C-alpha cells in the first residue's frame, strides 16, 4: 500500500549553507542533529547505485514534509550548473504561501533569487519559480480559495 510521498532528496555543494537556508526560509529543522555519513561502504554503494560513493547527509522536517540533503565527496559531479525546469529529473518543489508579495520578500532576505521577475497571477494561483543559494528551483505559489488546489482544502488521500 502506498501511503504518500515521504521526502524529497537533494544534492548540495554546501550542506551547512543549505541547511541554514531551508531552516530560515521554510522552517525545516533537523530530525537528528548528527545527520549521517558514509565512505567505502559497499552496502551504501548498492543502495544508491553508485560505486565508490562517499557522502554526508541530514534529514530535515517541516510539518509533514521531509527534505533529505546529501553532500557527496565521491564521486565528483560532472554537472556544474544548476538544473533548469526543462532538464530531465526532479527539477523543483513547490511551497504554498499565504501572502505572495510579503513571502517573496522574506525569501529574498533568506537568499532566494528570482532573476528580477515578478509573480504571475493566473486567477486560480499566483506563481513564480525562484532559486535557492545553490540554484535549485523552488516554485512559490499562492492558491485562490475554493479552487480544489489549495493545501488547506485538500482531504488526506488514501492509497
Domain ranges of the chain: 1-75, 86-159
Q: Which three cell numbers stand for residue 51?
A: 560505486
Segment 102-122 shows an average pLDDT of 94
Give the number of other Cβ atoms within 10 Å of residue 132's Cβ. Answer: 22
Q: How far apart are the first and last CA of the chain?
A: 6
Rounded to whole angstroms, the Cα distance separating 119 from 100 reads 8
Query: Which tops the pLDDT comparison, 150 or 129?
Result: 129
Phi, psi of 102 (to 5 degrees): -70, -35
Contacts of 56 (CB under 8 A, 6+ apart): 15, 35, 36, 37, 70, 71, 73
1-75 folds as 2,3-Dihydroxybiphenyl 1,2-Dioxygenase; domain 1 (3.10.180)
Contacts of 112 (CB under 8 A, 6+ apart): 21, 25, 130, 131, 132, 133, 138
Residue 157 has pLDDT above 50, yes or no: no
79-89: pLDDT as tens digits: 888 778 787 77
Cα 98 versus chain centre, distance: 19
Q: Name the CATH superfamily for 86-159.
A: 2,3-Dihydroxybiphenyl 1,2-Dioxygenase, domain 1 (3.10.180.10)
| Band of residue 155 on the pLDDT scale cut at 50, 70, 90 | low
How is residue 113 annotated by DSSP?
A: B
Amino acid at each position: 500500500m502506498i501511503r504518500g510521498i515521504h521526502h524529497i532528496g537533494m544534492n548540495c555543494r554546501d550542506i551547512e549553507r543549505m541547511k541554514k537556508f531551508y531552516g530560515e526560509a521554510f522552517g525545516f529543522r533537523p530530525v537528528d542533529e548528527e545527520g549521517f555519513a558514509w565512505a567505502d561502504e559497499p552496502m551504501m554503494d548498492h543502495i544508491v547505485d553508485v560505486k565508490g560513493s562517499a557522502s554526508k547527509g541530514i534529514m530535515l522536517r517541516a510539518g509533514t514534509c521531509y527534505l533529505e540533503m546529501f553532500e557527496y565527496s565521491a564521486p565528483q559531479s560532472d554537472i556544474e550548473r544548476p538544473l533548469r525546469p526543462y532538464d530531465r529529473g526532479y527539477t523543483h518543489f513547490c511551497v504554498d504561501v499565504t501572502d505572495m508579495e510579503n513571502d517573496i520578500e522574506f525569501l529574498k532576505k533568506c537568499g532566494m533569487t528570482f532573476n528580477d521577475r515578478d509573480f504571475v497571477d493566473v486567477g486560480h494561483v499566483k506563481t513564480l519559480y525562484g532559486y535557492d543559494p545553490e540554484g535549485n528551483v523552488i516554485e512559490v505559489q499562492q492558491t485562490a480559495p475554493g479552487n480544489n488546489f489549495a493545501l488547506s482544502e485538500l482531504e488526506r488521500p488514501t492509497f
